Amino acid sequence: MKIDIQKLVRKNILNLKPYSSARDEFEGENGIFLDANENPFGELNRYPDPYQRKIRQKLSTINQISDENIFLGNGSDEVIDLAFRIFCEPGKDKVLTFSPTYGMYEVSANINDVELINLNLNDDFQIDLETLKPYLYDENLKIIFICSPNNPTGNSIKNIEYILENFNGIIFIDEAYIDFSPEQSFRNKIENFPNLIVSQTFSKAWGMASVRVGIAYASEEIIKFYNKVKPPYNISQLNQNAILNALNDENINQVSENNKLILNEKKILIESLKELKLVKKIFPSDANFVLIEVENADEIYKKLVEENVIVRNRNSVIKNCLRITVGSPQENLKLMETLKSIN
């Protein structure tokens, strides 16, 4: 069935006249720019390219996806939030998530006054399709968020294909951790599914969390709406420069070497954790962190903090579970020493 994206978009966004940035119609770099009330002096005096064309072109070449299918956000958190603004009528529409998962879907839903349907993942942290099925036909359900690999559980989510084939709203796949995973990205499926948004980020595998740049891959139609609603200059020139500098062959190789190192450290960490009495369970992970179940998460968390080792206490979400990011070899050693002293 052909999906009409326009029908999914909020009415006021369809008719919205977006802010038009100064210089929108001028593509050159050399000119006398007296159009944006900038200061003629200094090095950082000009507004950045609102559409981050250079970065999008590089990403387009690297990933073999047209730059018209790419949107850049101020972190993937902005990519998530803008999806609400494009598709969800406050006080009327709904989104759906699978719990436990990344907290920002719920926060963004609350900020945007959108009802959140939260279905629990099963004991293997997978989607239970039978529970999901009735919701797929709710006309007010606008977005299904799927985080894969999932944060905080670490596993990749199965059955995404089924949802793509059977849901006519927006399917938002959050692939923040995909570069650590053996699974394929869904990025290349945007050709077949005009209602699919795949988000990725420079914050994790690229090691650039401080720069705050996230990516949405989606149909041209969806990207056009992203550009319509985004703040005009959502990514600063300094941050655009940092990303541009990172997108060269040498650095890309370095990133890939670092990620191999992180995955190797993860293996070592898991082996050492297995030897601890206080660790009850280690959940399978396709990401750069592991979720473990311990005897008393609150107590162990507190003892680690006393030694300046900070992990994420997820006891309130999954009973007695801690989420541990894989650090450098030295950091992981310090973690293990401290855990052994508690053991």
- Is residue 121 part of the contact set for ligand PMP (CB under 6 A)? no
Residue closer to ligand PMP by CB (options 134, 182) is 182
- Sequence length of the chain is 343
**Selected range binding ligand PMP among 37-45, 109-117, 201-209, 223-231, rule: CB under 6 A:** 201-209
Strand partners, 116: 95
**Selected range binding ligand PMP among 38-46, 75-83, 109-117, 332-340, rule: CB under 6 A:** 75-83
Strand partners, 70: 217
- The residue number with the shortest CB distance to ligand PMP is 75
Residue closer to ligand PMP by CB (options 21, 185) is 185
Residues 6-45 within binding reach of ligand PMP (CB under 6 A): none
- Is residue 81 part of the contact set for ligand PMP (CB under 6 A)? no
CA distance 290 to 284: 7
- Is residue 209 part of the contact set for ligand PMP (CB under 6 A)? yes
Cα–Cα separations (whole angstroms), residue 224 to 6, 13, 116, 255? 11, 11, 26, 31
- Is residue 111 part of the contact set for ligand PMP (CB under 6 A)? no
Residue closer to ligand PMP by CB (options 147, 282) is 147
- Is residue 77 part of the contact set for ligand PMP (CB under 6 A)? yes
- Is residue 173 part of the contact set for ligand PMP (CB under 6 A)? no
Contact (Cβ atoms closer than 8 angstroms) between residue 13 and residue 85: yes
Phi, psi of 99 (to 5 degrees): -95, 145
Residue closer to ligand PMP by CB (options 100, 169) is 100
Residue closer to ligand PMP by CB (options 193, 206) is 206
- Is residue 174 part of the contact set for ligand PMP (CB under 6 A)? yes
- Is residue 97 part of the contact set for ligand PMP (CB under 6 A)? no
| Shortest Cβ 32–ligand PMP spacing (Å) | 37
Site residues (vs ligand PMP, CB under 6 A): 75-77, 102, 147, 151, 174, 176, 201, 203, 209, 214
